[in-house]
Amino acid sequence: MSLSQQFNDHLLPLSGDSSLSTPAFVYDESAVINKLELLVKAKEQSGCHILYSVKALSFSALLDIISDYVDGFSVSSLFECNLAREMLGEKGSIHVTSPGLRDEDIPHIAKISNYMSFNSQSQWQRCKKFVGDLNCGLRVNPELSFVEDDRFNPCRGYSKLGIPLSQLAYLREQHSETFAGINGIHIHNNCESENFQELGETINKVKDVMGDFVSRLKWINVGGGYLFSDMAQLDMLCSIVTELKQQNGQDVFFEPGKGIVNSAGYLIATVIDLFDSGGKTVAVLDTTVNHLPEVFEYQYKPVVMQECRNGEYEYQLVGASCLSGDLFGDYCFADELQPGNRIIFANVGAYMLVKANMFNGINLPTIYSLDSSNKLHLQKEYDYAQYRNKW
């Protein structure tokens, strides 16, 4: 099946919608809700508490939708914490973990959040005087890697993310006072995995090393880093959560981010120029890799929905900035491209808008939401004033 055949029917009209100004980020609300409904089922089956990881996409219109389905948000900074509380009101909990917490920020964070997982023993010792009534835990590095690329690997050598499990075991034996006031642990050691058996292996390793320490905890946050598209994939998560709850009666939190929003995000661009360069046809778009920063940072080729792999016409799609590496890749199409044609990049809902920038003075994409009735709703436009006043 071609990518165009996989294209959701209610998104196809976007390529010809004259009311849509490009470049544009479009977020399909139905796709987000479908993922959230799967998570609600997982919660009903297992008793797992569902959090949304704000760092993946902090677009307030979607946060408002997400807040109706989850038990709270997970955050990693003062600003994320403020936004989470603003969007949740009093109806959900906020879970904080960060390798870098400033002393002056912690009292305010503690006042409006509910759980905090400290990233190191020293961070806990330094900051615990500020926490008040916060439910406190420690982030654990289980020293078990499933991610080959160290740029994404929370358990890479000399990782900054969490207390190494072996060190935690030593502290438990030699410095048990370290754990006074600790009620839970936070484990996040994966990235873009669809295999929840890896989570099971991780939990088993922590239990084997830490023994009865785990059984005495009031809660475990199993992190995120997992992708899912149906309940069959979430069955393993449900089994892991059910077993933990049956053994120890603990609260278990799962905090996906990309798994909820990535497939819901699209960047729509317009072809503004075509020319030959050494025998290859270059198609210049009115967007840039600076609107999809991870394409450049991690050198991967994004999905183009109109691509036809056996198509007769091949183009190098490039961005409009002066950066020589502003390239999306080579793509084949069934029909010739013309100036004014729309190109739709898919699966760009996470870690793109939150990192997008105005390098070279190219404006940020206009943001739209697409509702279940196929209606576009303008959410935000940017202009020169925001570029000028950025610094």
- The pLDDT value recorded for residue 2 is 40
Reported pTM: 0.94
pLDDT of amino acid 333: 96
What is the average pLDDT score of the chain? 93
Residue 3 has pLDDT above 90, yes or no: no
pLDDT for 159? 97
Dist CA 321 CA 216 (whole Å): 56
In this prediction, residue 169 carries a pLDDT of 86
Instruction: Tell me the two tokens of residue 152.
Output: 């994404």
d(Cα 336, Cα 319) in Å, to the nearest integer? Answer: 19
What would the pLDDT profile of 231-287 be if each residue is shown by its tens digit?
999 999 999 999 999 988 899 999 999 999 999 999 999 999 999 999 999 999 999
List, for residues 295-336, the tens digit of each pLDDT value.
Answer: 999 999 999 999 998 999 999 999 999 999 999 999 999 999
pLDDT reported for residue 12: 64
Quote the CA–CA distance of 271 and 263 in Å, as a whole number. Answer: 23
208: which 2 tokens? Answer: 């084997």
pLDDT tens profile 180-212: 899 999 999 999 999 999 999 999 999 999 988
Note whether 98 and 77 are within 8 A (CB).
yes
Whether residue 147 contacts residue 190, with contact meaning beta carbons closer than 8 Å, is answered with yes
Domains of the chain in sequence order: 3-28+262-388 (2.40.37.10), 58-256 (3.20.20.10)
Q: Is 321 left (phi over 0), alpha (psi -120 to 50) or beta?
A: beta
How far apart (Å, rounded) are the C-alpha atoms in residues 118 and 126? 10
Which residues, other chains included, contact 391 with Cβ-Cβ below 8 Å and sequence gap of 6+?
A: none
SS3 state of residue 164: strand
- The predicted structure's pLDDT at residue 173: 75
Which two structure tokens, joined as six digits, stand for 110? 């503690």
Which residue blocks in 89-230 are alpha helix, DSSP H? 106-112, 121-127, 165-174, 197-210, 212-215
Give me the pLDDT at residue 27, please: 96
| Tokens found for residue 28 | 């399909």
Question: Which DSSP string do the residues of 299-327 spell out, in sequence order?
Answer: T---EETT--TT-SEEEEEE-SSS-TT-E
CA 313: distance to chain centroid? 34
Does 4 score more than 70 pLDDT?
Answer: no
Quote the DSSP letter at residue 226. Answer: B
